[in-house]
C-alpha cells in the first residue's frame, strides 16, 4: 500500500514537471479537444504514448529537473514518461467530454420553451373527487 501511495505521488510530481514544460500542457489541451469533439476514447493511450515518446526523445528537461529530484530521475526513464502522459491525456479527455456535456445541457436549458401556465386548482366535493 505504501508503495502504491509513493508511486502515485511520483506520478503527480512528474505531471507537475511536465506541466512546467509547455509540452505537458499542450498534450493536456489536445486531450481536452479529443474529449470535447467526441473522438473515440481508444485514442487516449495512443496520444499518451506518442506524447511520452516525444517528451522522452526530444524535450530537454534540465531546466526544471532541480525542482523535484526523485521525479526528475524517474522522468529519465522513457516508460515512466509514457505512463505520465497517458494519465495526463486521460484526465484531459474526461474534462473535455464533461465540458461538452455541460455546454450541451446549457444550450438545451436556454432553448427550452417556457413552462405552460398551470391550471387553477379544481374544487373538490366532500368525498375528495372533483366530479360534481
Domain total in the chain: 1
The pTM for the full model equals 0.74
60 assigned to some structural domain: yes
**Per residue in 69-83, pLDDT tens?**
767 777 777 788 889
In terms of Cα–Cα distance, which of 49, 56, 55 is closest to 87?
49
Q: 56: which residues sit within 8 A by CB, 6+ positions away? A: 78, 81, 82
What mean pLDDT is predicted for residues 16-36?
Answer: 90
121 assigned to some structural domain: no
Residue owning grid cell 495512443: 46
24 within 8 A of 18, measured Cβ to Cβ = yes
45 assigned to some structural domain: yes
Asked whether the predicted pLDDT for residue 121 surpasses 80, the reply is no
129 assigned to some structural domain: no
Range of the domain at 47: 2-106
Confidence of residue 108 (pLDDT cuts 50, 70, 90): confident
Amino acid at each position: 500500500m505504501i508503495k502504491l501511495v509513493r508511486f502515485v505521488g511520483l506520478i503527480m510530481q512528474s505531471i507537475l514537471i511536465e506541466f512546467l514544460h509547455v509540452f505537458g500542457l499542450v498534450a493536456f489541451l489536445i486531450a481536452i479537444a479529443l474529449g470535447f469533439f467526441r473522438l473515440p476514447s481508444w485514442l487516449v493511450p495512443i496520444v499518451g504514448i506518442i506524447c511520452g515518446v516525444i517528451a522522452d526523445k526530444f524535450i530537454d528537461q534540465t531546466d526544471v529537473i532541480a525542482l523535484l529530484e526523485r521525479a526528475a530521475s524517474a522522468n529519465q526513464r522513457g516508460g515512466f514518461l509514457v505512463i505520465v502522459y497517458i494519465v495526463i491525456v486521460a484526465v484531459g479527455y474526461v474534462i473535455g467530454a464533461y465540458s461538452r456535456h455541460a455546454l450541451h445541457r446549457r444550450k438545451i436549458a436556454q432553448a427550452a420553451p417556457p413552462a405552460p401556465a398551470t391550471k387553477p386548482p379544481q374544487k373538490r366535493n366532500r368525498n375528495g373527487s372533483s366530479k360534481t
